[in-house]
Copies of this chain bind each other. A is one copy, B any other.
Amino acid sequence: MHPYGLYLPTRLVFGENAIERLPELTKGFGKKVLIVTGGGSARRNGILGRARELLRDREIFELSGVEPNPRITTIRKGVEICKKEGIEWLLPIGGGSVIDSAKAIAAGAFYEGDAWDLVLDSSKIKKALPILVVLTNAAAGSEYDDSGVISCLETHEKLPFGSPLLAPAASVMDPAYTCTVPAKHTAAGAADIFSHTLEQYLVADGSILTDAMCEGMLRTVIECTRRVLKNPNDLDARGQLMMASSFGCCGLLSIGRTPSPWPCHAIEHELSAWHDITHGEGLAVITPHWMRWSLTEKTAPRLAQYGVRVFGLDPKAPAMENAGKAIEKTSGFFRSIGMPAALSELGVTDEHFEAMADHAVLHRPLLSTAFRPLDRGGILAILRASL
C-alpha cells in the first residue's frame, strides 16, 4: 500500500431541516457574514430566506450570480466585499461552483495581491475565513474537501487550488434541497461523481476496502440517478447521491493507492476554459474515451474488475473482453441519463485542441502517472476521439 494522509475536519450534518442547526454551528464565527449564491435558485426555493431568518442576529452581506464555471472576476468582487466590510465568515448556499468560490474568497480575504495568484500557487494561502456550506446539489464534493476550481476567461485557464485551511467547518445537507435541481444538472452532477470516482479507481493498484468503496459509489450513482430522474422527489435516492458527492473528492477513495492525476478532470478543465461548457457534460464525453485510450493488456484486468463488480459482467469471460464491455456500459450509462456522447454536441470544435494539450501538460505534471501514462499526444488523441 502507498503511504497516505487523511484529514477530514469538516463536520457533515445530514437530514431533513438540517439548516435549522445553522445558528448553533456558526456560534463562534462572528457577526458579519457574506452569503454566496449562484443563479437564483437558492432565493426561489426559499433556502436563502430561511438562512437569513436563522441568522437575523448577524450582519448579512450578499454575493450572488456565481457562474457554473466560477470566474476569477466574481472572486475578486467577493474579496473586495470581505476587505471593505470586514466579513468574518462565509456562507455558500449552492453546489460546487458556489462552494469553490467561497473557498477562493475565504483565502483572498487575507491576501494582499490578486486572488488569481492563489489559484496559480496555493502555497501562498496562509489564512482563510471560516466557511459553513449549505449544499443544494450532489456533484463536486466541494462540501467535504479543501480545494476548488476557478476559471480565468482572459487567459483561457480553469485551474484547481487547495489548502487544508479551506476545508469548510461544517456542511449542512438536506436532500430535499436537491429535489428542484433540473434533470440536466442532476444528471451532470451524477456524471461528475461517476467520473471522479472512476479516475481514482482506475489506477495501478488498490485495496479491498477502497475498491469496494469506489464500486459502491459507482453503483450508487447508477441506481440513484435513474431513480431521481424518474421521480425527482425520491428523497432516499437524493440522500444517497448527496452522500456519494461528499465522499467523492475528500481523499477517502484514493488512500493507499497510486495517487490519481485526475486525467479526465484535467482534460475537461481545458475544454471548459475555452468553451464554458457544463463540467459534468464534458466529463461524460471524455471519460469513456479516456478509458478506451487507456485500455492495454496491463490495464485490462482492473477495467474488467470494474465491469464485473459494477455492471454484473460474467467474471469468467476474458479480461480484455470484459474491459471492452465495461467501457461500452459506461458510455451507455452516460447516454441513458441524457448526457451528450460527443464534444460537437456541446459546440466544441478542434480549433484549440493543441493549446489545450500544451496547457494541460504544463499544469498537470502528474499525468505521466496515469493508469496508462498520459502525455501531450495522448491528450490530443482523447480530445480528437471525443469530438
Contacts and interface: CB of A to CB of B under 8 A. Distances in A.
Interface in A1-33: 1-9, 11-16, 18
Contacts of A217: 209, 212
Q: Which range holds the interface residue count of chain A?
A: 35 or more
Given A215-B212, A219-B212, A12 B1 contact: no
Contacts of A213: 209, 212-213, 216
Given A14-B256, A213-B216, A256-B14, A240 B208 contact: yes
Contacts of A1: 14, 175, 235-236, 239-240, 243
Per assembly, the copies of the chain total 2
A247 to B, nearest CB: 7
A219 B239 CA distance: 26
A12 B208 CA distance: 19
B13 A5 contact: yes
Contacts of A175: 1
A209 B240 contact: yes
Contact of A12 (B4, B11, B16, B215): B4
A217 to B, nearest CB: 6
A146 interface: no
Contacts of A210: 216, 243
A223 interface: yes
Interface in A43-85: none
A367 interface: no
Among all A-B residue pairs, the 9 with the closest Cβ atoms:
A212-B216, A3-B15, A1-B239, A6-B12, A208-B220, A209-B216, A7-B11, A8-B8, A4-B14
21 contacts: A1-B14, A1-B175, A1-B236, A2-B15, A3-B15, A4-B14, A6-B11, A7-B11, A7-B12, A8-B9, A12-B255, A207-B240, A208-B216, A208-B220, A208-B240, A209-B217, A209-B243, A213-B213, A240-B256, A243-B255, A243-B256
